[in-house]
Amino acid sequence: MAVRAAVLPAIGAPLEITGVDLPEPGPGRVRLAAAGVCHSDLSLCDGTMRVPVPAVLGHEGAGTVVAVGEGVTDVSPGDPVVLNWAPSCGTCHACSLGEVWLCANALGGAGDVYAHTADGTALHPGLNVAAFAEETVVSRSCVLPLPEGIPLTDAALLGCAVLTGYGAVHNSARVRPGETVAVFGVGGVGLATLQAARIAGASRVIAVDVSPGKEELARAAGATDYVLASENTPREIRALTGKQGTDVSIECVGRAVSIRAAWESTRRGGRTTVVGIGGKDQQVTFNALEIFHWGRTLSGCVYGDTDPARDLPVLAEHVRAGRLDLSALITERIGLEDIPAAFDNMRTGKGGRSLIVF
């Protein structure tokens, strides 16, 4: 059975919307309701991150189970699910420590052949789940049952942006009530991070972005202040925080200049968390004296340091209680053919999250 999908034929090449033949019935087949267009997908297209190609990208999705393979008993056809692009193996060293977000084998499936084009070309599943398609075939470990009361379409954002943003605040930076927080980058993950900082009880939430057009989005998500990114950003943030700097700064861009600005905006003894994925050319430098003097903590953050099976029910409860608004992260609903335009918006810093609706 052929389904429409967005195929990346080669690194740096434009996406091709074409028919993809999936195996029948497959180990686990999911009909997509929606898929988010994440900056990581753009990084895969331009080669910042590498996966085998040709590939069907897309890793943030939700849909309905169509068929299951032999031995699968805990999900059934008709069940709504969220795709989990980084399933943990449970046996590697990181998993043995409970750090499942660092699983050494999480992306092992990205090298597999999961489907073919009409002319027989073998296709890889991008980041395991190939969500830029009407339907996909995944392993059992790549689906999470969707908790009740969550709209299936908006639930796609739980698979990456929201888990990452919420986890950055609650698992990595561990924001405490009353602390001040700066969030650098108001894209999909940044908007989720702003909401998470508000949920955590931050007393002041400062959003930073290069675009003046994102202020309304940022304030709706929970920002109390909005700063246009410039060389003066750290000075402006210190002025907003009694000349101290923020307790926590979270960088969601992945560029050396914004990582450095987040670091300089953090108070002495504070925490700087880097969520954004940058290229190898983005070199960030520090001198030994400043590391000693400022006593700050600089940490990376992978997938929000989350265990999706543990954290998804927590997020669902926030959604049901009205504390977390998934729809507020979505700035446009598009089709498969609109993905290149969504990538262009990312490059120019426009909008929040584009959501492909099938």
pLDDT tens digits, residue range 110-138? 989 999 998 999 999 999 999 999 999 99
Q: What is the pLDDT, as a whole number, of residue 1?
A: 66
Answer whether residue 238 shows pLDDT above 80.
yes
Instruction: Return the higher-pLDDT residue of 264 and 1.
Output: 264
Answer whether residue 168 shows pLDDT above 80.
yes
Segment 74-80 shows an average pLDDT of 93
Q: How far apart are CA 28 and CA 191, in angstroms?
A: 32
pLDDT, one tens digit per residue, over 249-285 is 999 999 999 999 999 999 999 999 999 999 899 999 9
Question: Measuring CA to CA, which residue among 261, 247, 256 is closest to residue 276?
Answer: 256
Domain 164-302 is in which class? alpha beta
In this structure, what token pair is assigned to residue 305? 């340091």
Residues forming beta bridges with residue 21, ordered by sequence position: 2, 116
Q: How far apart are CA 351 and CA 334, in angstroms?
A: 13
Segment 145-157 shows an average pLDDT of 95
In this structure, what token pair is assigned to residue 260? 């450095």
Answer whether residue 310 shows pLDDT above 70.
yes
Answer whether residue 27 shows pLDDT above 80.
no
Start-to-end C-alpha separation, the chain: 17
Instruction: Return the higher-pLDDT residue of 27 and 157.
Output: 157
**So where are the chain's domains?**
2-159+325-357, 164-302
Q: Answer yes or no: are the C-beta atoms of 301 and 96 closer than 8 Å.
A: no
Residue pointed to by tokens 């997020």? 315
Q: Answer yes or no: are the C-beta atoms of 334 and 342 closer than 8 Å.
A: yes
Fold for the domain defined by 2-159+325-357: Quinone Oxidoreductase; Chain A, domain 1 (3.90.180)
